[in-house]
Amino acid sequence: MTTDTHTGGRDHALGPADAPVTLVEYGDYQCPYCAKTRPILEELVEKAEGKARLVFRHYPLDSVHPLARRAAEAAEAAGDQGRFWPMHGLLYQNQENLTDEDLRSYAMRLDLDLDRFDGDLAEHRHADRVQENRLAGERDGVRGTPGVFINDVPYDGRLEIEALLGAVEEAAEGTRGRGTGREVRRVGPGDSFGGLDDPIAEICSEERGVNNATLRRVVQLAVEIAREGREGRKIGTLFAVGDHEAVLVRSRPLILDPLAGHPDDAKGVKDPDMRETVKELAQLDGAFVVADEGVVVSAARYLDAASDNLELPLGLGSRHMAAASISRNTKAVAVAVSESSTVRIFDEGRVVAEVVPEVWMLRGYGPYPGR
């Protein structure tokens, strides 16, 4: 049986304290894919036969999951009474019901001291700990949930028992992450590209005819926008990547360009400040134009590269029509984020891939059906 321990007096851990392998999961109690991952990781600890322990840290995605942080505080309140893991399980099993009334009912079910539990929530006594976890995740490079690390190395393999057991065995032998020839990559919309088993290698291949590294970063950013939205709401936007001079000729500004006049070295898509700027500007209508070398040369552009006989799936609107058109009339690849949170990649006038960000977290992406 596994045991409920603490790491450094702060982390909740499931499994033997002397296990050679530590898995850290950054999770969100409203994330459905964290809920699916929870029993897999707990089963892993059992099947690893003493080689692994699991540490859980809170990573509430406040903009899309407004009840997740409150649920995290409830888990910590239960943990203060020695019942973190039972509450953890209840929260994931009932993640559609996370109101304060629901949280109190789970505390009653676990026979907690209700006065103490109520006081903890009312006074936000564990809010600092939840925030510490969130900031730790940001420092570790987490961009989405579930974010999994094995002995401090980001894990991007399949979140299933056999793959995880193999990774644990490798880590226990001291080979994971050093001299193995494997690329270190992150789960979710973090820095998740670059290996032969890259989940979107086909999407971002040199066959697309644009700078591979730039397209990867743009797809990554598009997935972040699709998952996070802005100010509690989903947003859609569009990127045209590569062949930027031709794209500029075939487009026009909708408003005064907010990026005009800024130096190119401040507008690189890999720069964290620029990425946050793009997320803010994505709330505006229009497209971003990204040069091959990764500079976001313009924002809020209307793409008027009309094309006839485009073959688009039913239900796709003007943003996707513009994406298809610009990719047919130029050598650019278009990346469209829909308000339904799907990211579609267009090349030569066709949808070549779709990424559903939440499903992608469990490796459920694929090229567009039939292609």
CA distance 112 to 128: 21
Which segments of 37-113 are extended strands (E)? 52-58
The residue behind tokens 């973190």 is 84
Tokens of 310: 């485009």
Tens digit of each residue's pLDDT, the chain (371 residues): 445 544 444 689 999 989 999 999 999 999 998 999 999 999 999 999 899 999 999 999 887 889 999 999 999 999 999 999 999 999 999 999 999 999 999 999 999 999 999 999 999 999 999 999 998 888 888 877 899 999 989 988 888 999 999 999 999 887 444 333 333 233 333 333 333 334 455 556 555 678 878 888 898 889 888 888 777 788 889 999 998 999 999 898 888 888 888 988 889 998 888 999 999 888 888 899 999 899 999 999 898 756 666 666 656 778 888 899 999 889 999 999 988 778 889 888 888 887 777 655 544 443 334 33
37-71 burial by CB neighbour count: b if 16+ within 10 A, else e? bbebbbebbeebeebbbbbbbbbbbeebbebbbbb
Q: pTM of the full predicted structure?
A: 0.51
Looking at domain 206-367, its CATH architecture is 3-Layer(aba) Sandwich (3.40)
Separation between Cα atoms, residue 337 and residue 264, nearest integer Å: 24
Q: Give CA angle at 7 (18, 104), nearest 5°.
A: 125
Q: Are 29 and 89 in contact (CB under 8 A)?
A: no
* Conformation bin of residue 224: beta by default, left when phi > 0, alpha when psi is -120 to 50: alpha
Where does CATH 3.40.30.10 sit in the chain?
Answer: 4-172
Q: Where in the chain is the domain with CATH 3.40.1700.10?
A: 206-367
CA distances to 200, 219, 330 from 203, rounded to whole Å, are 5, 9, 18
Taking alpha carbons only, the member of 254, 282, 353, 350 closest to residue 310 is: 350
CATH architecture of 4-172: 3-Layer(aba) Sandwich (3.40)
Angle 140-144-145 from CA coordinates, rounded to 5°: 100
